[in-house]
A and B are shown apart, each in its own frame.
Chain A
């Protein structure tokens, strides 16, 4: 191909990493020779690198060093810019940049007016240029760490990143000397980070990825089928995230300060900036311990400030915000036409997901069978702040050997847009009530075709001739009402404070059941030996034609039959 053509570059070694690039923080990761994703610490030892650049007399500061410049040099400090990339000024929300360099209109894009050289002049630096500088710094940290020049990356981006934003990201990355191999969505990256663990079992499951960050919260509901992922629904909230939790603590401490000193530290930009940095640190400390202290030298009017807060108090202050995050998940599950009971796993991603209360609330919302993957609910959970970068690093290692053309073809809608099953396909088995059959799903709904699933079924104890009845099934929710056990006349000391005592006498028990749908086929397996087993395979073709095979395990022959394809295919929403 191209390599021999005139003017083409000689193929060079590709050293690819994974980058997660958030409005608040970025992370870089690589995949080790053992196939394990590892997050890289930069020169300062940070694995979570604030996505901030700051300039003093022409010198560029990055990450944590730049973040600390928000106090004294806020006008030359650029922060929270990722979402502005590829957008025009009229469509952005400048609020997050309130206390740093303000975004402004610049031709068809967004720029920041900063003093980024030794001279006194203000320069308009576009968000694309800022992104290039940021990626250059990230790649350089990764190159230092790995001891070889990083020249390619997979970057994770939100599910609602537009084509224009992706194009801008590609260009900005290219300009930093980093070839952008692929952009993958943040929730998918998080799922991949878990699935790539050596002990992970590939199973069909419904996963909710709840990404709670600094300036935004994003939910994605994903059908994971045979290690392939389809996004069923998403939602985004820019008003309920880490910054709002910081604000609660800022207000809390400010009030305390006012009581003693009669000045509001929130009125002075420098005081507010100090308070914000420390409030955030206090908030993080409360994820680990029951108490956290805060101490700020010369907070306002030269007065020092020190205080403590315990977790219970914080959780009371934040109860409303935590409640909204839970509700956001419920809404997104509903948007996917699913029930809470359909969710097998919740992956908590993003910095705010370290908050124990958030995952505890989710434990209460979901059934005990649902796995909540977060540090406070599962000891083996992966650090939520690192998931997107790890996933990106794994994808990078998978495709770094591919030609550009190969990647483009594989990610083309011709390949990615695929019919997904509307109902489960399964086989009828005998339940305790021998008159009634039970549906056992082999292929779950929302599985992309072509697909193949097999099940090994028990036969009646004595063996003999058995029936394999293949059907479609739809999940239904059965609700039964049960009298609630009375707690000695006293209202149960539940913390659901809004429920009135008398109305909740009945308890609802909700469970998943299968409703048998269209019968697809019947097959007979004759003369199964005593204690024998029957393997049934359902193979759905790309055209939705079905091939069913059934045979006794260990025996020769068996049955095989075809079902014609149905007529029409409809469009999905997500």
Chain B
């Protein structure tokens, strides 16, 4: 999907914030819910192709 545009600005980096490689991992995602995706439509077919061939998004775009 195309990137969305957000007009409100990002905050200024707090004084003294330092982290190796400028990235600080803090948490993990909450658990997820197992659901069925409807096997319908062009985007699903692309998903199925990736899943069956264990390909990633960027490989799929090639």
Contact = CB atoms under 8 A, between A and B. Distances in A.
A559 B24 CA distance: 10
Contact of B52 (A232, A409, A466): A409
B6 A456 contact: yes
A416 B36 contact: yes
A472 B42 contact: no
A522 B24 contact: yes
Interface stretch (A98-106, A142-150, A371-379, A419-427): A419-427
B38 A229 contact: yes
Contacts of A457: 6, 8-10
A438 interface: yes
Interface stretch (A286-294, A299-307, A313-321, A513-521): A513-521
B30 A548 contact: no
Interface in B1-54: 1, 3-14, 17, 19, 21-45, 47-52
A559 B21 contact: yes
Interface string A222-251: 100011111110000000000000000000
A419 B39 contact: no
A521 B24 contact: yes
Nearest to B26: A519
Contact of A466 (B10, B43, B44): B10
A428 B27 CA distance: 15
Contacts, number: 257
Contact of B41 (A227, A232, A425): A227
Contacts of B12: 460, 464-467
Contacts of B25: 520-521, 561-564
Interface string A409-436: 1110101111111110101111100000
A548 B47 CA distance: 21
Contacts of B13: 464-467, 524, 526
Interface residues of A, number: 101
A279 B19 CA distance: 75
Contacts of A420: 32-35
Given A420-B33, A422-B31, A449-B32, A228 B5 contact: no
Nearest to B3: A454
A423 B10 contact: no
A563 B27 contact: yes
Nearest to A571: B34
A509 to B, nearest CB: 22
A177 interface: no
A539 B29 CA distance: 12
Contacts of A195: 41
A228 B43 contact: yes
A469 B11 contact: yes
Contacts of B44: 227-229
Contacts of B29: 421, 423, 425, 472, 518, 520, 540, 544, 546, 563, 565-566
Nearest to B49: A410
A569 interface: yes
A413 B44 CA distance: 13
A411 B19 contact: no
Contacts of A524: 13, 17, 19, 22-23
Contact of B37 (A229, A409, A521): A229
Contacts of A469: 11
Given A202-B1, A425-B29, A524-B19, A231 B36 contact: yes
A455 B31 contact: no
B62 to A, nearest CB: 15
A417 B40 contact: no
Contacts of B41: 188, 192, 195, 227-229, 394-395, 398
Nearest to B23: A561
B6 A455 contact: yes
B9 A521 contact: no
Interface string A162-193: 00000000000000000000101100110010
A186 to B, nearest CB: 11
A560 B24 CA distance: 10
Nearest to B7: A458
B22 to A, nearest CB: 4
A228 B17 contact: no
B55 to A, nearest CB: 10
Contact of A192 (B40, B50, B56): B40
A338 interface: no
Contacts of B4: 442, 453-456
Q: Which of A184, A231, A524 has the most CB of B within 10 A?
A: A524
B21 A228 contact: no
Interface in A15-44: none
Interface in A511-536: 517-526, 534-535
A415 B30 contact: no
A430 B11 contact: yes
A440 interface: yes
A226 B5 contact: no
A568 interface: yes
Given A466-B13, A561-B21, A563-B27, 11 more contacts: A226-B43, A416-B36, A420-B32, A440-B6, A453-B4, A518-B27, A523-B24, A534-B10, A561-B23, A563-B28, A572-B33
Interface of B: 1, 3-14, 17, 19, 21-45, 47-52, 56-57
Which 5 pairs show the lowest CB-CB distances between chains A and B? A227-B43, A561-B23, A419-B32, A454-B3, A465-B13
18 contacts: A184-B39, A192-B41, A421-B29, A422-B31, A430-B9, A449-B32, A455-B6, A459-B9, A469-B11, A518-B27, A520-B27, A521-B24, A522-B23, A540-B29, A546-B29, A566-B29, A566-B31, A574-B36
